[in-house]
Structures are given as C-alpha cells and as structure tokens.
Chain A
C-alpha cells in the first residue's frame, strides 16, 4: 500500500500544474457547496426556529376533525332511509370546561399550556374604527408559551393583570390610530358590549399584519366582553422538544377529543416547500462538484496517457492490473481528499463572509445577518460528494490504464 501511495504521489507531484488545476476544481466545488448549503440550511433552520418560536407548538381548538354525528342520524344508523339536510344543533362554541382540559394538558411532562379566547372586536378612536383580533390571555401562562413578552416594547405583559381594563396592542396599530401609552380606546364586541380600555403595553414582532391587527387583554375581561364566561377557544402549548409536537398533539387529541394541530401540521405547505428547495439546492451544488470531477477525470486520464510506459514497466516487473488500478484510484482520492480539506478552509471563509452580510428582509423591520449554518454534517456531505465524484471520475480511466497489455506498449515503444 505504501508502495502504491509512493508511486501515486510521484505522479501527482511531477504533474504539479495539472494536479493543482484539478485540485482547484474540487476546492471551488466544495467551497461553493458549503457556502450554498450553509446558507440554505441556515435560512431553513432560522425559518423553522422562527416558526417554532412564534407559533404555538400545538394548538388545541374548539373544533373536531369529524363533524358531530347528529341525533337524527343516530336514530337509524343502517336504515334504508337517509335523512338529508339535517341542520346541526346550535352549539355553544368554545372549549367546554377549559380549566379541566387545561389542567389535563398541562400535566403532560415537558409541556406548558395557556388558554386563549380570541374574538373580533372593533376599536373606536377619534372617529376611526379598526377591526382587531382581541385575545384574552393569562399573562403568567402566556409568557411560558409564546415569545410575546420578548416583543413588548413599552409597558409589560403583566400590566393587564394589574389593570383589568388594560390593553396591549402592536406599536404599528398604536401609531396608525395615534394612540399612546395610557390612552383609552372604546372596544366594541359583536354581541354589543362596549368597554373603555387603556393602553398599558405595546409590542412589536416585526410581522406587519400581526402587529396591526392583534391585541391582548385579560382573559376574564375578554370573556365578559364576548359574553363567553368560563370559555376559551384555544389552548396553546409549548414543548421542550418542538419535534415531539406531532406525537403529543395526537395524544392530546385522543385524550380531549378536540382538534389538536402541531406546528408541523399547521405548516406542512411551508415544510414541503423547504424540502423542494433542498432538493434543488443539492442538485445545483452536486452539479458544481460534477464539473469539478471532470477536472479529476482529465488529470487522471492524462497521467495515464503519459504513463503508459510506466504501466508497462510496472506490469513487466510483476505488478498486477489491480495494483495499477489502485495507484490511479489513490491519485483521484488524494485529489478529492486534499480538495475537500482545502475546500473546507475556502468554504469556511466564504461562510464567514456570508455571515457578515446584513440585510433587511421583507416583513422584518430590523436588518439581520444572513443565517449561516455551521453544522458538521454539511462538511461531511461535501466531502462525501467530493470523494464520490473523485472516485467516479478516476474509476474509468484507472480501469482502462490497468487493462493496458504490457506487450502492446512495449511493441509501440521499442
């Protein structure tokens, strides 16, 4: 083996310019692979982190996956008569006995839950009417489940516990309605209740629509406003392990009967878009490495063409076809491996530079650094790609070289 390495090395060393050129191909391939993949993976993870961060991991809502079977249908389950146009019983919407449900769900280890009663209301201020989604929350539970507290820019989340008429709205909405901290606003509910409430907090999440249409108030206050005492319409939860959401959601649904949607289910379209994006990305960066592998193919082929004489020497000496093949395979692998390592350095440089770029993304008001993923798995993947393409590029010429008959070369040379 050492012997094969020595011979392989001698070929590469004396063909320095070609070797360097093919090496450069691999280095660039690996570096671009890393730069592109780190950015794609980084933005994906960043996106998922935001998603996981900003949406409840599981949302238990006052709905059922299957419509409730109506009594009229239960009456004749297998009858010849089919009852059409059944009007469902008027039901009081909302999670019934939400406190018990909440306790039940909260008892699941690694999970925190918060009740929410959300409803549409109208803000009336200075002659303007704005439709707002007002969520009744319990601040103590809410701060464990969502990141809203971190987005508070004035006042505090707890202020609505202190002031039962307290209201927290988005900074953009406040600006739009020329409302400031401490100002009062009339809140009108669909059932006709009117309440004068006071701004005790402002938040800013960076999501424009959310910031302009969301408001928070005390759960009890919203229940009163909407005439829905002791009712919540969603229970939102946060898990220590966000990736357990699917299983836990199924568990909650079995336990409570209420539709429980994990964040993955809620974002299935986005997640599958991300997957398509990954497929495209790996195709593109794979193509870069494919091009690089032509460089390797070129160098090994030309080494073999120049070295037919050496092949004859070695074979006449008693080297086997397998020895010759191994020598050239080593050459390809050395280029692949050295290219990978240098590509790691160049790629890390590119990744670092990319990570320094700051830009403002649509829907975000603050400039952010491009998210760059530094995980080892993509380095391993880049190396794997590089080695495989190096091997593939070397294999054919190596076999061809190994099969050269020494006499054919001797006859030609002598």
Chain B
C-alpha cells in the first residue's frame, strides 16, 4: 500500500490577541484506497484538520505531501489547481449553486478543469447522477430536491473530475436517518468498488465502524 497523503507535524494557529491553536502537531499517513474516519468531540478540531488535509487552509507549520508532492509553499493558484484535479469535498450542508440544476452543478468542476470534451463531460455528469440514484432529477434546481438528493448531487460533483481523494465533513449531519444511511452506503461503496481514498469526519459510530481506520482528535491533537 502506498501513501497518498502524508502530514508531518501539522499545526494551525489562528493569529490574534489570544492566538488559538486549532490543530497541534498532527502527523498522519493515509494510504491509497484507504477509508479513514476522523472522530472526536465537538470543537476538537476535526473540521480544521480536514481543511488542512484538503488544502483549503494552510498550516502554520508542518508539511503536507500529496501523491508524493510537497505542497509547502504552494501559492493560492497552485492550491486551487490541486484541489480541482485531486480533491473532492462533500460538506455537511449541501453547498450546491442554487441557480444551477443538479446536472450543471455536477459539470462545474469538469468545465473548470476543461480536460474532457464538452459532450464527454455531459455524458459523465449524467452517468454520475444516475449512479447516485438521481435519474429524473438531473434538471431540477437544488431547491427542488430533498436534503438527501442534494447531498448525492454534491457527491456526484465531488467525483466529477475523478479525484483520488474525497474529503467529507459530517456529510449526513443534516439528514434524516433514512437519507443518512443511504448517503453513507454510497460513500462506503465508493471506497470498496472504486479504489478511492476517503477521509471522513463523523460523529456516527456506526458509519465509523465501516472504516479501515479511525483516528481520534481531542483539543487539536491526535490520540
């Protein structure tokens, strides 16, 4: 098993009159195809760590190596380009663009990356939506979809550019139990059948039980 993501002594301190350290000296190696769950009490720094691993935030110190590439010193544009091609996010709230249909939301990352021909992008967006059980809902706006459906659109969008790593932050936190288990099944399926690395922040012990590995964070430190 090869390491896809290696964090070394990641520390993130918010500057200010009283500096707040969100993440303390976290070292973590995640292998390709691994399903890792990050657990911990509320306010322990799970989301903050996920943002660092997902290149949404920059560590105050420490290094992060992604697919063998050291991301230290990347500028904003390089970070964005890396997120675009290699990372997919699913957040607690669906985070779709309200003015775009499900289909158009899924196409967004592909259009920005612009690596595939337009008709192939369209076909792929359709396939992803169908894979996620959204047949017949392709052209609905987010406001016309249920919470679970929106979250599935968000997953389809996270998968659009076929990134090796998916990061999710309590993707089922805002869903009822039925949609929630449905979304969880989809995420588990992703790891099993598609050889994808999934890093998930969750409170849900049942969901966590299905992971290859669970790491726990308390007060910003791994335990």
Q: Do A and B come from one complex?
A: yes
Q: Which residues on A are within 8 Å of B, measured CB to CB?
A: 2-3, 6-7, 10-11, 13-14, 309-310, 312-323, 405-407, 410-411, 413-414
Q: Are B56 and A318 in contact (CB under 8 A)?
A: no
Q: Are B99 and A318 in contact (CB under 8 A)?
A: no
User: Which listed residue, B54, B80, B92, B96, touches A319 by the CB 8 Å rule?
Assistant: B80
Q: Are A318 and B81 in contact (CB under 8 A)?
A: yes
Docked CA distance A2–B118 (Å): 12
Q: Are B93 and A3 in contact (CB under 8 A)?
A: no
Shortest Cβ distance from residue A137 to the other chain B in the assembled complex, whole angstroms? 77
Stretch at the interface among B106-114, B130-138, B178-186, B214-222: B106-114
Q: Are B95 and A309 in contact (CB under 8 A)?
A: yes
Docked CA distance A312–B162 (Å): 21
Chain A minimum-CB-distance residue to B173: A414
Q: Are A322 and B93 in contact (CB under 8 A)?
A: no
A14 / chain B contacts, CB cutoff of 8 Å? 98-99
User: Which listed residue, B77, B83, B99, B109, touches A11 by the CB 8 Å rule?
Assistant: B99
Shortest Cβ distance from residue A165 to the other chain B in the assembled complex, whole angstroms? 89
Docked CA distance A410–B93 (Å): 10
Q: Are B112 and A317 in contact (CB under 8 A)?
A: yes
B:44-58 near A, CB below 8 Å: 47, 51, 54, 56-57
B93 / chain A contacts, CB cutoff of 8 Å? 413-414
Chain B minimum-CB-distance residue to A14: B99
B:33-69 near A, CB below 8 Å: 47, 51, 54, 56-57
From known contacts A7-B97, A407-B56, infer whether A318 and B51 are also in contact, taking CB-CB under 8 Å: no
Other A-B pairs beyond A313-B96, A320-B76, A321-B76, 12, CB < 8 Å: A7-B97, A10-B99, A14-B99, A313-B95, A314-B108, A315-B80, A318-B112, A405-B57, A407-B51, A407-B57, A411-B47, A414-B47
From known contacts A3-B112, A10-B100, A310-B97, infer whether A316 and B76 are also in contact, taking CB-CB under 8 Å: no
Docked CA distance A413–B104 (Å): 23
Query: Count the B residues whose beta carbon is within 8 Å of the partner chain — how many?
Result: 33
Q: Describe A's contact surface by its main secondary structure.
A: helix
Shortest Cβ distance from residue A67 to the other chain B in the assembled complex, whole angstroms? 75
B:143-169 near A, CB below 8 Å: 157, 161, 169
B95 / chain A contacts, CB cutoff of 8 Å? 309, 312-313, 316
Shortest Cβ distance from residue A404 to the other chain B in the assembled complex, whole angstroms? 12
Chain B minimum-CB-distance residue to A408: B57
User: Which listed residue, B51, B82, B85, B112, touches A410 by the CB 8 Å rule?
Assistant: B51
B81 / chain A contacts, CB cutoff of 8 Å? 318, 320
List 7 tightest A-B contacts by C-beta distance, closest first.
A318-B84, A10-B99, A318-B83, A320-B80, A407-B57, A3-B111, A313-B95
Docked CA distance A10–B89 (Å): 23
Docked CA distance A257–B111 (Å): 76
Instruction: Answer whether residue B103 sits at the interface, using C-beta atoms and an 8 A cutoff.
Output: no
Q: Are B85 and A318 in contact (CB under 8 A)?
A: yes
Can you give 8 A-B contacts (C-beta < 8 A)?
A: A316-B89, A316-B91, A317-B84, A317-B109, A318-B83, A322-B77, A414-B47, A414-B169
Q: Which of A6, A10, A407 has the most CB of B within 10 A?
A: A407
A410 / chain B contacts, CB cutoff of 8 Å? 47, 51, 56, 91
